[in-house]
Amino acid sequence: MTQKRQKLDIRSFQDFWTNEYGFIQQKDRAVCALCCETVVCCTSSVQRHYQTKHQSMFKNSEEKSEAIKRAVSGYKKQTSIFSQVIGTKYKATECSYKIAQCVASKARPFADGEFVKETFFEQC
């Protein structure tokens, strides 16, 4: 491998970034929990972002650690809410497709209410 390719392979999310700088891993990027900006997974980029945008916000290390914990938990809570909403929409769409498949396979009209009710309770 070339030297440049080796440098790219080394970049991975480091766990200490969460406690030290307030970053969370999102796919192959590092996301700041304080301002939701995305940075390349590189220690120098993460450190530079923190120092230029957030370091002046905190008076001492206790205040910094408390604010980072709140921001990280808030970010995780927000992403879990969005994933739950997406999951319920996916389930509704899947159920709709199953009912449509049953209606098409039985060659019965959709207006036949009893058949649709039975299919709905069987599939969903």
pTM of the model: 0.54
Please give the share of the chain, as a percent, with pLDDT higher than 70. Answer: 72
CA 108 to chain centre: 42
What tokens were used for 7? 């440098």
Please give the share of the chain, as a percent, with pLDDT higher than 90. Answer: 0
- Residues 30 and 81: beta-carbon distance below 8 Å: no
* pLDDT band at residue 84 under the 50/70/90 scheme: low
- Tally Cβ neighbours within 10 Å of residue 30: 25
- Which residues have a Cβ under 8 Å from the Cβ of 32 and sit 6 or more positions away? 21, 22, 23, 38, 39, 49, 50, 53, 54
Q: Which residues pair with 29 in a beta bridge?
A: 26, 40
Give 2-26 pLDDT, tens digit per residue: 555 555 545 788 888 888 888 988 8
Per-residue pLDDT at 87: 65
- Say whether pLDDT at 34 is over 80: yes
* pLDDT band at residue 65 under the 50/70/90 scheme: confident
